[in-house]
Structure 1
Amino acid sequence: MTSAALAPTLSDRVFGRSLVMDATLVAAGAALTAILAQVAVPLWPVPITGQTLAVLLVGSSLGAVRGALSMVLYAVLGVVGLPVFSDASSGWQVIGGPTGGYIVGFIFAAALTGWLAQRSWDRKMLKALAVFLAGTGVTFVFGLPWLALVLGLDLAGTLEGGLYPFIVGGIAKSVLAAGLMPLAWRAIERADAAAPHRD
């Protein structure tokens, strides 16, 4: 499918497209992720944070490429020393630690949710919920093997430390995102309908 056939994302409808705007939105997505990373429930080896919600919203709002680039920027900022990871942490040791796989997974989760949003899957709640559950799942696809490798855990230990504590929260964040995105689209449609039209 060519890019011309893709549906506009939420950010396209609100802000339009230009190189400057794209760069601004990519940076804003990284900033939102950094902010929500500080909303955390400390658990070991992986804390519960608001990062995943940010990833879902950024990916679906910006689309596959810009969403993924936003998460790459987020990871790079953390690696070079900005305190953007959970608990205001930073550095290579975070990427190389138990949570590193989840951060890498954010890139692919944003790409997937953005790809589906560009096919209008974010505009109705049930489809949006499927999008965000899939995006959440992608994060675990990368996070769990990384966690097991870093800590030398067996399958049971990996699931107990890296999956089971996050199931309820992951579903809740997916439901929240699936409610917010269709609401945002409806608000845009109402604004368009109320705007005066020129012949």
Structure 2
Amino acid sequence: MSLAASRRPVLADVVGRPATRLRALAVDAALVATGVAFVALLAKASFFIGPIPITGQTLGVIVVGAALGARRGATALTAYLLAGLAGIPVFAGPIAGPAYVLAPSFGFVLGFIPAAAIAGWFAERAWDRRPALAFVGFVAASIVPFLVGVPYMAAVLALVLGQEVTLPGVLGAGVWPFVLPGLMKAAAAALLIPATWALVRAVDRRSRR
């Protein structure tokens, strides 16, 4: 069985697909824009404990990826990144515009794109229907921004800000403080998305009566 054949509908597919390609593109654009706004809103729920803030962004990334699917989720987070670089204040801190590429946290924003795609990939295989499976998939997606963001943060601290960088210092600034919040956000998404699916099924059953 091919990967394409194994794809299951995600929550965004509940809205249905318009008959014409132009209308389908319009629906996808609206979904992507909604995803950008959702992540931007959660980004403002943040506080800094060092060079990297604890924010609601990862929760937004997971929810957007799972709800929209891999392709639209990655597109939404790409649009989110481009909006911030264009100067729209969508990131966690007050900085926006091209200069944000020199911020220690920019690598995490880059990592949001594949993270959304991975959350969407799991959702397209129905892992988002059960909390336990959803939690596993969402934790996997949550790890991805660290794989990009931590090395990027270390490079910015050393090469741009001229700070001494050590492995314990990097882990203390960019990994350990985020483990528990990350697990909590993955758990929240693993409750929210399956609960939304349960609501969709309940509404569908009532409409068939």
Under TM normalisation by the shorter chain, which class is it? over 0.9
Q: Give the superposition deviation at 1:173.
A: 0.4
Question: 1:22, 1:4 → 2: CA distance?
Answer: 21
The aligned residue for residue 16 of structure 1 is 16
Matched, 1:77 2:89: no
Pairing of 1:22-37 with structure 2 (within 5 A) = 22-37=28-43
Matched, 1:188 2:188: no
For 2:98 and 2:72, locate their aligned partners in 1 and report how far apart those are by CA, in whole Å.
24
**Could you list the runs of 5+ residues in structure 2 that have no partner in the other structure?**
18-23, 159-164
Alpha-carbon offset, residue 104 of structure 1: 0.2
1: CA distance, partners of 2:3 / 2:178: 36
AA aligned opposite 2:11? L
How far apart, in 2, do the equivalents of 1:155 and 1:26 lie? 37
Give secondary structure in 2 for the equivalent of 1:76.
helix
79-88 or 120-129: bigger deviation: 79-88
For residues 57 and 105 of structure 2, the distance between their equivalents in structure 1, rounded to whole angstroms, comes to: 12
State the shift of 1:33 in Å.
Answer: 0.7
| Contact 1:148 1:155 (8 Å CA) reproduced | no
Let me know the Cα RMSD of the aligned residues.
Answer: 1.2
1:99 to 105, 121, 124: 105
The answer (yes or no) to whether the contact 1:38–1:88 under 8 Å persists in 2 is no
Cross-structure match for 1:177: 189
User: Gapped runs of 5+ residues in structure 1?
Assistant: none
Question: What is the rounded CA distance, in whole Å, between the counterparts of 1:185 and 1:76 in structure 2?
Answer: 31
Q: In 1, distance between residues paired with 2:31 and 2:189?
A: 18
Deviation digits for residues 86-122 of structure 1 (CA, Å, limit 9, x no counterpart): 1343112222220011000000100000011101111
Helix, strand or coil at the partner of 1:48: strand
Normalised TM-score (structure 2): 0.90
Residue identity over aligned pairs, in percent, reads 41
CA offsets, 1:25-47, max 9 Å, x none?
01110111111110011221001
In structure 1, give the amino acid aligned to 2:9.
P
Aligned pair partner of 1:154 in 138, 143, 166: 166
Aligned partner of 1:133: which letter? Answer: V
